[in-house]
């Protein structure tokens, strides 16, 4: 049978769409990952001695010579992996991702690939290994961050992103051999659930390199999941992209029911620890998590521990407050699906079984007006604590009144009990 180009293109498009959907629906590890919804991102390294940004302050606020010598003083003697993991757990987080090696090339584990690692510092302890053990002990899932650019490694052509005159010939094959040795050490020693790559944007790193490394990772552990930053494509998952989930950065992803995504966002302004950094408010921290879940995505929320190894008290307190909200409202976040309402400035929604959780973003409203859900019977509307709420269906709108004629507060969760599986409902726009 001869088919014309148009027909061929049509069937190719169908196959690609189905395969990308299959990718997110058929991978149990990915489904489990997306059910976790909330993780701790940890940016840590010798740069905390200067309180400037990891990697990026090298050759800027900090001279290359000074930056590359910081490891000789790096001695976070108050580092306690159990304490870090307990902070994550108390915040309601289900996993954590540690920067085992950032763009400055310093390795937080005793690697045989390079002397530029934690065992060459006065600290001489395996930070990644101690965190891995603490995660296992406290039931928190371990993720490891690795960079595909390394401004410290002479095999990587770029040594200073702001000064091309410092470029060196490099040797990408040798650079990838080092990467593979490091990957093998990390996977065989610490058994991470996911690898979080970063640094794909520079010229020396190509999609071909990314595919080679992705294949190598999967050859060591076919179950491990990898974010989409081994490749150059960062907005969609398709035959050109590499990796298992999308990674919108410093912004919350749009409602996406087909491709797994995780937003990475800082609790303050800087990824690594910064003295007196401006932190987000409690409401903003909670809404960042809720809006991610309403978009059917995860939130990887970043903190930066201090040079002595402690997480600063302000961040511990803020995360504990977030944890109080999560402890009370977690059923509306974990193991849920985003939607059916497209999030807007007033509210968003998640859903599970026969319940739709409406998350109120705006404070001071006596009534929340929701688009009616076609062909669905609303059995009851309550606050999450079980107190019934009055509601009125008028044409294409469901008007829900706050309790006792009061107003809805921010981050209130309203539960709509319906007569069917909410997960099957189509997306509803305002």
**Distance of alpha carbon 108 from alpha carbon 46, whole angstroms:** 10
Site string for ligand FHN, 160-199 (x = CB under 6 A): --------------------------------------x-
**Distance of alpha carbon 271 from alpha carbon 134, whole angstroms:** 22
Does 205 bind ligand FHN (CB under 6 A)? Our answer is: no
DSSP letter, residue 406: -
Does 55 bind ligand FHN (CB under 6 A)? Our answer is: yes
Residue 149 or 418 having the CB closest to ligand FHN: 149
Beta strands in 280-346 (DSSP E): 298-303, 337-338
Burial 24-53, CB ≥16 within 10 A → b, else e: beebeebeebbebbbbbbbbbbbbbbbbbb
Considering the complex, what minimum distance in angstroms separates the CB of residue 266 from ligand FHN?
8
User: Do 421 and 386 touch, CB atoms closer than 8 A?
Assistant: no
Considering the complex, what minimum distance in angstroms separates the CB of residue 201 from ligand FHN?
8
Considering the complex, what minimum distance in angstroms separates the CB of residue 264 from ligand FHN?
4
**Binders of ligand FHN in range 379-408 (CB under 6 A):** none
Angle, vertex CA 284, rays to CA 291 and CA 418, nearest 5: 35
Considering the complex, what minimum distance in angstroms separates the CB of residue 63 from ligand FHN?
19
Considering the complex, what minimum distance in angstroms separates the CB of residue 4 from ligand FHN?
44
According to DSSP, the β-strands at 194-198 and 141-147 are: parallel
Residue 55 or 105 having the CB closest to ligand FHN: 55
Considering the complex, what minimum distance in angstroms separates the CB of residue 55 from ligand FHN?
5
Site string for ligand FHN, 267-296 (x = CB under 6 A): ----x-------------------------
The helix/strand count (H/E) of the chain reads as 9, 15
Rg, Å, the chain Cα set: 23
Number of residues interacting with ligand FHN: please give it, by CB under 6 A: 6
Considering the complex, what minimum distance in angstroms separates the CB of residue 160 from ligand FHN?
14
Residue 149 or 213 having the CB closest to ligand FHN: 149
User: Do 144 and 192 touch, CB atoms closer than 8 A?
Assistant: yes
Among 364, 283, 279, smallest CA distance to 321 is for: 283
Residue 249 or 419 having the CB closest to ligand FHN: 249
In which residue are the tokens 């489990």 written? 32
Residue 40 or 264 having the CB closest to ligand FHN: 264
Considering the complex, what minimum distance in angstroms separates the CB of residue 302 from ligand FHN?
7
Residue 49 or 370 having the CB closest to ligand FHN: 49
Residue 49 or 264 having the CB closest to ligand FHN: 264
135 Cβ contact list (under 8 Å, min separation 6):
85, 96, 141, 142
Residue 58 or 310 having the CB closest to ligand FHN: 58
**Distance of alpha carbon 365 from alpha carbon 359, whole angstroms:** 13
Among 41, 56, 173, smallest CA distance to 95 is for: 41
Residue 158 or 425 having the CB closest to ligand FHN: 158
Considering the complex, what minimum distance in angstroms separates the CB of residue 329 from ligand FHN?
27
**Binders of ligand FHN in range 240-269 (CB under 6 A):** 249, 264
In which residue are the tokens 């879940």 written? 293
Under the rule (CB under 6 A), what is the footprint of ligand FHN?
A: 54-55, 198, 249, 264, 271
């Amino acid at each position: 049978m001869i088919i014309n180009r148009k027909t061929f293109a049509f069937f190719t498009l169908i196959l690609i769409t189905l395969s990308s959907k299959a990718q997110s629906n058929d991978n149990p590890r990915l489904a489990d990952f997306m059910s976790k919804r909330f993780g701790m991102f940890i940016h840590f390294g010798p740069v905390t001695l200067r309180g400037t940004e990891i990697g990026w302050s090298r050759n800027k606020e900090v001279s290359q010579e000074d930056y590359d010598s910081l490891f000789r003083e790096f001695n976070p003697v108050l580092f306690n992996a159990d304490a870090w993991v307990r902070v994550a757990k108390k915040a309601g987080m289900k996993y954590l991702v540690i920067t085992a090696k950032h763009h400055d090339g310093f390795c937080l584990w005793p690697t045989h690939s390079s002397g530029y690692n934690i065992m060459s510092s006065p600290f001489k302890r395996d930070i990644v290994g101690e965190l891995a053990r603490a995660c296992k002990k406290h039931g928190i899932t371990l993720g490891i961050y690795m960079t595909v650019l390394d401004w410290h490694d002479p095999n990587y052509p770029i040594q200073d992103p702001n000064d091309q005159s410092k470029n060196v010939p490099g040797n990408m094959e040798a650079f990838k051999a080092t990467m593979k040795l490091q990957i093998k050490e990390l996977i065989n020693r610490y058994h991470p659930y996911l690898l979080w790559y970063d640094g794909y944007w520079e010229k020396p790193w190509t999609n071909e390199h990314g595919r080679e490394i992705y294949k190598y990772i999967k050859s060591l552990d076919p179950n491990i999941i990898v974010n989409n930053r081994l490749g150059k494509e960062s907005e969609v998952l398709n035959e050109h992209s590499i990796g298992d989930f999308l990674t919108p950065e410093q912004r919350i992803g749009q409602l996406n029911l087909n491709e797994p995504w995780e937003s990475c966002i800082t609790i303050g302004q800087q990824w690594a620890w910064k003295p007196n950094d401006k932190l987000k408010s409690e409401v903003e921290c909670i809404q960042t998590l809720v809006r991610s879940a309403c978009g059917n995505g995860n939130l990887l929320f970043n903190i930066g521990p201090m040079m002595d190894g402690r997480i600063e008290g302000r961040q511990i307190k803020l995360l504990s407050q977030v944890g109080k909200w999560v402890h009370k409202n977690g059923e509306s976040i974990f193991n849920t699906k985003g939607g059916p309402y497209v999030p807007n400035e007033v509210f968003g929604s998640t859903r599970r079984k026969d319940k739709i959780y409406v998350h109120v973003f705006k404070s001071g409203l006596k009534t929340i007006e929701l688009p009616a859900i076609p062909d669905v019977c609303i059995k009851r509307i309550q606050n999450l604590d079980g107190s019934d709420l009055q509601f009125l269906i008028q044409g294409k709108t469901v008007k829900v009144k706050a309790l006792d004629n009061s107003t809805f507060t921010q981050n209130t969760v309203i539960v709509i009990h319906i007569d069917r599986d909410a997960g099957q409902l189509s997306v509803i726009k305002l």
